[in-house]
């Protein structure tokens, strides 16, 4: 029998073909050999048959079987089956071999002239039972025809049951991915040739299909993402070309359509579709539509909320759109720290800076807020916005004592960096805050301010720190340095005695030798041994008077002071925090205002400061308007009475100019021998002035006086005046006090005197 090998089907009826196909399926063991050019030998074992075939150059092939049916009728199902298998074999080996360029060109030429129907017919004729092969040919050549239908091709090759459910398994997944891979290679090639519209057609179909598959068959998502990533990258490159408006519009529709789907996923390492098309979303209507989509997703797509929220933020800046909905605002507010980090990670510096405006400082914990400001500082440096760099670095250095930020500030704004050191020095007593100490030491060492450096090191009293910095000081401040070491060694010896002291000091001795200070220090120690005997601190047994602070000790007006500042600073555009309370407590009105203005970088003239200070007082007075003796703090009145009974003198030492008015409301003004208030002292606590004056008024030596204070600054002022200090409140914040109690109801005057002795 003789047939055209690539057109076998047209020679036989479907019934005969079917019979042969059945046999092909049954034949699972056979040998197909080519003993000589154009001649094939087919021997099957299971079931047993034997066909010889000769291939002519005109594409026809004649077959001869050994069976009786063939001998009788010159054709049989065996011969036909063998031919089908031969055709399969030839196609396979052809596919395996890469075709020569020349062959490809010829084929391209032929295919270019065909319509899609002709192409399909051609393919189904020549590759009937090989759908993967057929699809591959289509994938390779479909772009050559006028209206290529990629959707159809992709659907066609995706296995589905009769209900339209996609039936992918490991095997056919490979085929599907191959075809898509081929299409994407075509797209890349077309893009290179600047065939933008053709490229888009392929991408449109593949993107749709890939997203559909990855949603419908999630178990293969990871594999499909490989092609999806490639498709997205090509799409992004396409969008960077100068596309015709109509094509841009189609890309917009595609991106909106896919992004809007439930289950749409942002793929790591790729640009979101909507951002690829962003450059040509120019009309207000389209912008609004895209923005609303992002907003909707930011609320609903909980899995990818952050990415959507970042896009919303970006478009708010870029397109100057305001988000109105409360739920979106809530999402943005909640995610703001992460949004900032995300934008920062992506290098979207302008978006970071823009987003900073939306940060509501009192919503986030301190450490998070710090992270946000740091992201802002990075962005500001990248964009070269010096003013912003200096503002953020200032804020970070001052509020968070961030040494890195301070270094940056020193680079950009020397004067401000110096100011920070001044403020921090003023507000953090030595050794009360390790971070503040670190900042100051590093700062002064960078600015070369050696007096300050040594002063602080001495006051902190940590020899390990001194060892770290003394190299810079040993030439200019040799004697002082020797003094500091000698004093420390002397005190350690006094406290621990010989052996233990030697152990504790061994590293210091070693260090002193290495920097050649041993001899000087030893000399100083000798002198000290001669001179120093006994302590000079106030003797507790001599106590003859008590001085009480007012706000926070006798009456709980400290909260009203703080609340009033909060209201005032809000009007000035800043949200003050609990920590600021620590700094304003005990400080005079103007001192407190100065601190807050510096802290929040607000600049005012002298007159304005006076005005705001007065305003604060108005708010405060209104808050305490209703105060009565019932507002005395627990145990306060009893403590005052017992003090008098114990034969001690009493004074009030408050920084408040309102003190007398408050005492009047509390009906205790005549319980004191002397009343000193904010009008009596020029200097604010921690300056000792107010307590020194109180002692004078009581005609007592400061060593005979105990001061009761709720503010760290007050405790420092008392000690600086030479008085004893009892702290009321947080033992950590008041750790410098001789004794700390939680309130006056927790002790008695006699107990205090006993404890101090
Ligand atoms: C102190 C308060 O007692 O008085 C401070 O602790 C306050 O918080 C200061 O700033 C001054 O008060 P006034 O009433 O003079 O504003
Ligand atoms: Mg107080």
Residue identifier of the C-alpha nearest atom 12 of ligand 1: 656
d(CA 436, CA 413): 20
Q: Which residues of the chain have pLDDT under 70?
A: 91-117, 119-134, 137, 144-146, 162, 498, 530-541
> Of 586, 664, 718, which is best to mutate to test ligand 1, by the most ligand atoms within 8 angstroms of its C-beta?
586
* DSSP β-bridge partners for residue 675: 652
> What pLDDT, on the 0 to 100 scale, is given for residue 537?
41
Which candidate in 551, 677, 710, 738 is catalytic?
Answer: 551
Question: In the annotation, is 549 catalytic?
Answer: yes
Residues flanking ion ligand 2, Cβ below 5 Å: 549, 551-552, 710-711
Report d(CA 16, CA 2) in Å as an integer: 15
Determine the pLDDT at residue 191: 92
C-beta of residue 49 within 8 angstroms of C-beta of residue 65: yes
Residue of 351, 549, 581, 738 with catalytic role: 549
Residue 344 Cβ < 6 Å to ligand 1: no
Q: Among 554, 580, 587, name the best residue to mutate to test ligand 1's pocket (greatest count of ligand atoms within 8 A of Cβ).
A: 587
What is the number of the ligand 1 atom nearest to the C-alpha of 711? 6
pLDDT in tens, 191-223: 998 889 999 999 999 999 999 899 888 899 999
Ligand 1 atom nearest to CA at 549: 3
Query: What's residue 535's pLDDT?
Result: 41
Q: Measure 617 CA to ligand 1 centroid, in angstroms.
A: 9
Pairing of strands 29-36, 545-548: unpaired
729 CB under 6 A from ligand 1?
A: no
Which 3 state secondary structure label does DSSP give 75?
coil
Look at phi and psi of residue 183 and say left if phi exceeds 0, alpha if psi is from -120 to 50, else beta.
alpha
- Residue whose C-alpha is closest to residue 226's, from 190, 262, 268, 254: 268
- Residue 128: the pLDDT is 45
Query: CB of 588 closer than 6 A to ligand 1?
Result: yes
Tokens of 504: 């504790």
Residue located nearest, by CA, to atom 6 of ligand 1: 586
Sign of the dihedral through C-alpha 487, 488, 494, 500: negative
3-state secondary structure string across 185-222: HHHHHHHHCCCHHHHHHHHHHHHHHHHHHHHHCHHHHH
- d(CA 340, CA 176) in angstroms, rounded, equals 40
Distance 545 CA to ligand 2 centre (A): 19
CA distance 71 to 230: 58
Would the CB of 658 count as within 6 Å of ligand 1? Answer: yes
pLDDT at 475: 87
Instruction: Give me the pLDDT at residue 538, please.
Output: 47
CA distance 693 to 710: 19
CA of 631 to the centre of ligand 2 (A): 15
Residues 254, 255, 257, 263: what is their CA dihedral angle, to the nearest 10 degrees? 130
b/e 118-157 (16+ beta carbons within 10 angstroms → b): ebbebbeebbbebebbbbbbbbbbbbbbeebbbeebbeeb
In tens, the pLDDT along 366-385 reads 888 899 999 999 999 999 99
DSSP-assigned letter for residue 739? E
The answer to whether the CB of 557 is under 6 A from ligand 1 is no
Cα distances (angstroms) measured from residue 208 to each of 164, 176, 201: 16, 14, 11
User: 304 and 265 in contact (C-beta within 8 Å)?
Assistant: yes
Smallest CA separation from ligand 1 atom 8, residue:
585
Please state the φ and ψ torsions of residue 440, each to the nearest 5 degrees. -65, -45
Distances (CA, A) of 117 to 130, 146, 539, 608: 18, 11, 111, 85
CB of 259 closer than 6 A to ligand 1?
A: no
- 408 within ligand 1 shell (Cβ under 6 A): no
- 586 CA: nearest ligand 1 atom: 6
Ligand nearest the Cα of residue 708 is 2
Report the separation in Å between the CA atom of 549 and the middle of ligand 2, taken as the mean of its atom positions: 6
Place of tokens 């080996």: 93
Alpha helices in 278-361 (DSSP H): 284-300, 305-319, 326-345, 349-356
- CA distances 465 to 368, 434, 506, 542, 719, Å, are 29, 11, 16, 38, 25
pLDDT at 184: 94
Probe target for ligand 1 pocket from 588, 614, 711, with the most ligand atoms within 8 Å of CB: 588
Q: Is any ligand 1 atom within 6 A of the Cβ of residue 594?
A: no
The response to whether residue 584 sits with its C-beta less than 6 Å from ligand 1 reads yes
SS3 state of residue 558:
helix
404 is catalytic: no
């Amino acid at each position: 029998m003789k047939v055209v090998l690539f057109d076998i089907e047209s020679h036989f009826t479907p019934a005969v073909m079917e019979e042969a196909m059945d046999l092909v399926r049954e034949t699972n063991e056979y040998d197909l050999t080519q003993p000589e050019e154009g001649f094939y030998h087919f021997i099957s074992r299971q079931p047993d048959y034997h066909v010889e075939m000769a291939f002519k150059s005109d594409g026809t092939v004649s077959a001869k079987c050994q069976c009786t049916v063939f001998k009788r009728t010159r054709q049989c199902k065996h011969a036909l089956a063998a031919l089908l298998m031969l055709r399969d074999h030839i196609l396979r080996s052809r596919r395996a071999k890469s075709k020569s360029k020349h062959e490809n060109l010829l084929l391209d030429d032929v295919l270019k002239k065909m319509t899609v129907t002709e192409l399909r017919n051609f393919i189904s004729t020549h590759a009937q039972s090989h759908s993967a092969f057929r699809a591959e040919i289509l994938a390779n050549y479909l772009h050559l025809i006028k209206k290529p239908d990629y959707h159809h091709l992709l659907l066609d090759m995706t296995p589905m049951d009769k209900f339209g459910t996609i039936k992918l398994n490991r095997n056919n997944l490979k085929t599907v991915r191959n075809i898509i891979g081929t299409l994407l290679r075509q797209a890349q090639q077309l893009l290179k040739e600047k065939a933008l519209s053709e490229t888009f057609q392929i991408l449109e179909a593949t993107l749709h299909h890939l997203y559909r598959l990855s949603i419908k068959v999630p178990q293969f998502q990871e594999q499909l993402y490989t092609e999806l990533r490639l498709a997205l990258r090509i799409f992004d490159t396409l969008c960077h070309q100068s596309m015709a408006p109509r094509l841009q519009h189609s890309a917009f529709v595609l991106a909106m359509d896919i992004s809007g789907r439930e289950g749409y996923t942002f793929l790591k390492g790729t640009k979101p579709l909507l951002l690829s098309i962003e450059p040509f979303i120019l009309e207000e209507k389209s912008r609004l539509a895209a923005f609303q989509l992002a907003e909707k997703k930011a609320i609903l797509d909980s899995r990818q909320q952050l990415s959507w929220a970042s896009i919303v933020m970006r478009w708010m800046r870029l397109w100057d759109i305001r988000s109105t909905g409360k739920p979106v605002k809530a999402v943005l507010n909640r995610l703001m720290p992460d949004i900032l980090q995300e934008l920062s990670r992506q290098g979207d510096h302008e978006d970071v800076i823009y987003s900073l405006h939306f940060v509501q400082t009192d919503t986030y914990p301190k450490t998070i807020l710090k992270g946000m400001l740091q992201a802002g500082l990075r962005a500001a440096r990248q964009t070269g916005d010096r003013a912003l760099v200096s503002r953020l670095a200032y804020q970070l250095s001052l509020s968070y004592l961030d040494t890195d930020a301070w270094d940056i500030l020193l680079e950009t704004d020397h004067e401000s960096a110096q100011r920070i050191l001044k403020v921090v020095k003023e507000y953090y007593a030595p050794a009360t805050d390790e971070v503040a100490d670190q900042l100051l030491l590093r700062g002064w060492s960078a600015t070369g301010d050696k007096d300050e450096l040594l002063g602080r090191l001495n006051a902190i009293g940590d020899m390990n720190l001194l060892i770290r910095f003394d190299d810079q000081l040993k030439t200019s401040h040799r004697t002082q340095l020797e003094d500091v070491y000698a004093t420390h060694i002397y005190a350690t010896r006094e406290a621990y005695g010989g052996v233990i002291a030697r152990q504790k000091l061994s590293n210091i001795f070693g260090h002193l030798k290495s920097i050649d200070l041993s001899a000087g220090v030893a000399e100083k120690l000798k002198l000290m041994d001669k001179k120093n005997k006994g302590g000079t601190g106030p003797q507790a047994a001599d106590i003859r008077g008590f001085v009480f602070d007012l706000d926070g000790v006798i009456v709980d007006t400290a909260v009203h002071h703080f609340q009033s500042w909060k209201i005032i600073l809000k009007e000035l555009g800043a949200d003050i925090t609990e920590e600021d309370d620590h700094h304003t407590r005990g400080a005079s009105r103007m001192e407190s205002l100065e601190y807050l203005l510096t802290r929040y970088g607000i600049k005012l003239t002298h007159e304005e400061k006076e005005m705001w200070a007065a305003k604060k007082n108005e708010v405060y007075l209104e808050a305490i308007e209703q105060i009565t003796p019932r507002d005395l703090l627990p145990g306060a009145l009893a403590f005052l009475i017992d003090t008098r009974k114990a034969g001690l003198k009493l004074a009030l030492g408050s920084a408040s100019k309102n003190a007398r008015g408050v005492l009047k409301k509390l009906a205790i003004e005549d319980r004191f021998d002397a009343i000193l208030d904010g009008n009596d002292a020029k200097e604010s606590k921690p300056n000792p002035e107010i307590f020194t004056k109180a002692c004078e008024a009581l005609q007592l030596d400061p060593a005979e006086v105990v001061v009761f204070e709720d503010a760290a600054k007050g405790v420092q002022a008392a000690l600086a005046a030479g008085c004893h200090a009892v702290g009321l409140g947080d033992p950590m914040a008041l750790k410098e006090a001789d004794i700390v109690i939680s309130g006056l109801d927790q002790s008695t005057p006699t107990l205090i005197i006993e404890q101090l002795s």
